[in-house]
Structure 1
Amino acid sequence: MATGSADPWHLIPIGVLSVIFVIHLLSYVATGPRRAGQFFSKLGLRRNKKSLEEARRQREAKTTELGAYADLYQNAEESAAEIETALDAFAPEFKEEMRPQLKDYLGQVLLLAKTANELDGIIGDIPVEALKKDKAELRTKLEKASPAMRAEYEDSIKEVEAQEESFKALNEQRELIDLRLRSSVNQIQQLRLDLAKAKAADKEREASLPESLISSVRSRSEELSNYIEDLKKGHLEALADPFEELEKAQNDQTSLNKKPS
């Protein structure tokens, strides 16, 4: 059945959905001496063989942690680094003010990427097909059950169906997180493009852009933060603990199987 004691998936706590914020961000090493130097400088690493190996290990660890979403986060991180570099060129006085805003924004993007990857793993461990098979078997037994047993089988079927609905909601939530993650990466890439355009525009616009850019990053970071808090306090918690409930339903079903129909 779907939740035998030998199956490890049901032991995964649903609490993993409330991924804690990660403030300490690891930078990726880009190609090319100029960008590599900038990244190493921010990390406090020397440009020697040992430092290169350390940076490579950090990058590999990040890829493992974020799974299929590692490239998305790297794109956001590179865009943030390019924004800082551009500010160095024509508005260095705003760089220090912009840096914490970018860090906060990247923190939100990182959290979304980690959450999406965690959800992928959990959803992949859920035996949806086994649930369908269990429900079909219960319905078959229901047709042959005595009047005294029919209510028990009907309740078990309802419990399995409730879990199927929970898993459907979980998958939909994962899709929403994926969409929000991609939108967030697109937004910071657009900010990078806006800054590049401003450098080629008139001086009046160039002078006003840094403040506008900082305000935009701050606003979008706050929006992401509110979304994530809502996610943690509402949507995901509303799913309760489908693993615990499913295990209970399966145990009830096992007891029924031992009774004569």
Structure 2
Amino acid sequence: MSHDPWQLLEDAATVLVVHAHPDDESLSTGALLASLSAAGIRIELVTATRGEEGEVVPGAIAADEDRPLDLIREREVDAAGAHLGIAARHLLGTAPALAPGASPRRYRDSGMEWIREGLAGPSPSAGSDSFTHRPLEDAIDDLVALIDHVRPDVVIGYDDEGTYGHPDHVRAHHVTAAACARTATVRLEVSSAPQGSISTSGGFSWREHPATGEAVRAAVDSYRTQLTVLGTDAEGIRIRHVGGQDDVVALRTGLRVGA
């Protein structure tokens, strides 16, 4: 097997990408996915939770809206996926991302709280049905079922830092690593280095995706409940999260082959 993650992707026909919440696919891998889909690679997305615990940008939901937040966020992820060229979307715990013979199960957003700037920790209010508290083996079994169904050439997931340390991201890393090991599927990890910078440590290989700016901006802008797009510059798409943190969605990705 090649140890060059980009060569593995160039040789792939189908890629499965694993994320924790709606919007993670655009914020963490939007430029990568847009680039891959433009190259004719089939992209399928599985999201572990529905993002039920996310705060909402004031005014983003109409006063007469009667849909729950999870359904609104489902529409947001569908819109974002269309901009990025995602061919199919799945929810962990819902067939085909469900272990054979198991009843459908829901992995609830675990929530988070900031430990310090740029680093998240678990929410003390996360319940027993949250992604981080449900049995790890259930989630692994469900992802194995999806891998068996999709038969991807490559699975893309978080590295062990889970971007900014969100507990659901870290959990998704462990689930993805175990499921890929069990199915002998090639796994690539996305670097958690700050989006606006390139770190050469950790064995990551970086690539720019300059032609994806329009698609990524449109995808990110689909998440009106979660963030506000401030503009585009040489660094990427500048956004403000619902909590007030300014961030940049860079048009570059660092990848390495998972151990």
User: TM-score category by the smaller chain?
Assistant: under 0.3
More helix by share: 1
Max Rg structure: 1
Indicate the structure with greater strand content: 2
Give me the TM-score of the superposition, normalised by structure 2.
0.23
Looking at both structures, which has the greater relative contact order when contacts are Cα pairs under 8 Å and sequence separation is at least 6? 1
- Using structure 1 for the length normalisation, give the TM-score: 0.23
